[in-house]
Amino acid sequence: MLKKLYSLREPTRNGLELASRMFKQLETICSKLIEDRNSVIKIHPELSFLVTDNPTQIQTAYKAYESAQKLFNHQTELIQGAFEEKNTVFYEMETVLGLLKNKSIDKCFLEKKKEYKTPLVSKSILLNQDSINEKSLYDYVDESSFTSLMNSIQDVVNNLQDQRNKMHHTMDKILKVPEKLKNYESGSILIRARDINTLNEKISLNLDLFEQFKEDYESLVSHDNQLKQVISQVERNIMTLSEQDYIVLSHDTQEIGLVVGEMQDYVKSLRLIADETFVKSQQYSSFLDEYKNQAIMIHEVFSIIHDSISELVLIYDNCNILINQFIKLSNELWNLIAWYQEYYVAYDELILEMNQRNIFRNHQQDWFNKVSTELEKSIKDEIERRNMFIQNLGQYLPSDLCPGIKNLPATYSIQQTSIDEFVVPSDESVALATSSLANNS
């Protein structure tokens, strides 16, 4: 019997030794498997959120960039419009001033000192005959009325230019945003909850098998201890082992090979799921780092866009104030241009008015002279006729019959009661004024 027991000891020891090594492998693999599983489970929610949120944030960043671009383009158009309006109104002012400078004043208006007052002009000009040919409509213009206005407009335009420079500087900060966002657009990965559930089910199944093999291993250890104890007691004649008990020990020893074989298969299976979980853990960890870094980059882009839009809004407000000032000032300058244009036309009308008054005065003088001559002639003729009557018939008429027969006819006189004093423009000025008004009509 003792010899039979000895025959069981070697396979038991060898099997237990092999099982012990495999069990340690299983413990190591399971420990790493649990660690990797926990890592995957921990990473999954955050990674799932980032995988979904990052593309959304990128699209939001694109829209924010487009909003900044639209704001920039709109404000640039307004500023450019102000610049073009400034060039136009300045050109029109220079044009009308050129017309005034080229419109010579007729000498008739320059014979003595005159006081000229208008809503936009108030100056006294003392002229003499030596400087008559040098005077034009421009000399009656108060230069400060337009120079101060044009200087104010130029100041506003300069401030708008400064604001435009600031806008370009601000936009330079975000011009590369689309390129950056494009670089952040990584290939999409699919993170599904069911993948984690499936993996977790596989791991749980293998961990349950591990617990089962742990019990089997503990049974092997118990069997080895029992065999050692029986052999020791039999060697010391403490106990007598029955054949039935030996059969049980022999059967348990034979089961060691089966357990070890199953453990070998399980090690292979566990190693596969462990490798799969390890790869998944490494992928998730790598993806998480990538998407975290992506999220940080997107946040930095948002910060740039936010700061830039804040600057653009401030510039926008400043530009609106300046543009309102510009519109007010340019309207004043347009009104002044219109006044100068009317002034230019009014001078030609003045020439024609003075000429018309001269025509009227000459006509009145001619009429006066004609009437005076006819009146004198009619009175003279009447006196001669009466004298002829007295001479021919007066001697036959009693003196008391018609005492007034020798009376002279009533006399009349036409006299000028007031003086219409005005200057008379030259024929050349009248012709030029007539031509100018015809061209402007």
- Mean pLDDT, rounded, of the chain: 83
Residue 76's pLDDT is 94
User: SS3 string of 212-245?
Assistant: HHHHHHHHHHHHHHHHHHHHHHHHCCCCCCCHHH
Taking residues 434-439, report their average pLDDT.
92
How large is the angle between the packed helices 243-393 and 143-174, nearest 10 degrees? 170
Residue 176 has φ and ψ, to the nearest 5°, of: -90, 5
pLDDT reading at 125 higher than 50? no
Q: Which of 28-42, 89-103, 184-198 is predicted with the least confidence, judged by mean pLDDT?
A: 184-198
Please give the Cα distance from 307 to 301 (Å, whole number): 10
pLDDT digits (tens, 9 = 90+) for 267-286: 787 788 788 878 888 888 88
DSSP structure class, residue 142: -
Tell me what percent of the residues of the chain surpass a pLDDT of 70: 79
Task: Output 112 or 216, whichever has higher pLDDT.
Answer: 216
Q: Which residues are CB-contacts of 170 (< 8 A; sequence separation ≥ 6)?
A: 72, 308, 311, 312, 315
Residue 121's pLDDT is 44
**If DSSP codes are grouped into helix, strand and coil, which group holds residue 377?**
helix
| CA atoms in the 13 A half-sphere facing the CB of 29 | 24
Which residue, among 95, 131, 100, has the nearest Cα to 113 in the 3D structure? 131
pLDDT reading at 265 higher than 80? no
Listed ranges 71-80, 121-130, 268-277, 406-415; the one with the highest mean pLDDT: 71-80
pLDDT reading at 143 higher than 90? yes
With bands split at pLDDT 50, 70 and 90, how would you rate the model's confidence at 133? low
Q: Which amino acid is at 145?
A: S
pLDDT reading at 323 higher than 60? yes
Please give the Cα distance from 38 to 33 (Å, whole number): 8
* Structure tokens given for 51: 């995988």
Residue 126: Cβ-neighbour burial (10 angstroms; 0-12, 13-18, 19+) = exposed
pLDDT digits (tens, 9 = 90+) for 168-184: 999 998 888 888 787 77
Residue 391's pLDDT is 93
Residue 105's pLDDT is 92
Residue 270's pLDDT is 77
* Structure tokens given for 199: 């993996």
Which residue, among 308, 318, 317, has the nearest Cα to 64 in the 3D structure? 308
The pTM for the full model equals 0.66
Which residue, among 12, 31, 32, has the nearest Cα to 20 in the 3D structure? 12
Q: Which residues are CB-contacts of 313 (< 8 A; sequence separation ≥ 6)?
A: 71
| CA atoms in the 13 A half-sphere facing the CB of 407 | 7
Taking residues 25-50, report their average pLDDT.
82
Residue 234's pLDDT is 63
